[in-house]
Amino acid sequence: MNLFLNELTNDQIIFSIFLTAKVCFWAFLMHGFFGILIAWYLSSEKAPFRGFFDIFISFPLIFPPIATGFILLLILGRFGLLGKYLQDMGIEMIFTQKALVVAAFTAGLPLVVKPVQSAISSSAKSLIEASLTLGKSRLTTFLFVVVPNVKKSIFAGLALGLGRSLGEVGITLMIGGNIIGKTNTLSLEVYNAVFEGNYLRAGVLCVILLGVSVILFTLLRKLETRSV
């Protein structure tokens, strides 16, 4: 027990816990804003380039995370499609904590978008049409018709996205690196501990991740029960 507590109070683990919480917090906020807006956009059959964006958003679900991270590296790197412009503005992305947020956001985004998109298309479509027919703006319709009617799907999607962000490794490793004291998240610390042969530390980290996962699973079960 003492060994367990000693590992739990290790500076490296404490740093990883707070870093992971910080990354998940920002990814959660971005999922809540961009994820719901994207789902709203994709739920419209008349949306321009809907098919392309639908495939693009779903891509991280089927494409290997390492490969997804490599593509983001090409885009956000110093000489990448966007990275060179960010560099000119003094914004460094690769191997920074910003990159960790991008990795977490990218990995969890489809798990937020798809449930909300499905809910809007199946249960809120007629209400949306009625609201627009009555002369309400799209913003008003979104805030006062769409969001209240699919809030359970929103909460479920955000919980799934948070869980995916928490366990992200592949994309994080490619664009965030595994820099001790800078970009080593909890999931990467599990890898580091096993690589070093420190199975006790790996076990402590897994217990922490398991606890958060159980909380998220319980939340999802409660949402599912209430929707019956």
Locus of tokens 């807006």? 37
* C-alpha pair distances (Å), 80 with each of 51, 95, 158, 183, 203: 26, 14, 30, 21, 38
CATH code of residue 169: 1.10.3720.10
Band (pLDDT 50/70/90 cuts) for residue 225 is: low
Number of domains in the chain: 1
Span 84-108, average pLDDT? 91
Weakest-pLDDT range from 34-38, 138-142, 219-223: 219-223
Band (pLDDT 50/70/90 cuts) for residue 102 is: very high
Residue 3's identity, in one-letter code, is L
pLDDT value for 228:
46
CA 178 to CA 174: how far, in whole Å?
9
Q: Taking a C-beta distance cutoff of 8 angstroms, is the pair 206, 40 a contact?
A: no
Q: Taking a C-beta distance cutoff of 8 angstroms, is the pair 124, 146 a contact?
A: yes
CA angle 183–184–185, rounded 5-degree value: 105
How many CB atoms lie under 10 A from the CB of residue 224?
A: 11
Entry pTM: 0.88
CA 207 to CA 213: how far, in whole Å?
10
Which residues fall within 8 angstroms of residue 194, CB to CB, at 6 or more apart? Answer: 202
Band (pLDDT 50/70/90 cuts) for residue 109 is: very high
Domain of 100 in residue numbering reads as 2-227
* C-alpha pair distances (Å), 196 with each of 7, 29, 148, 167, 201: 14, 34, 49, 20, 10
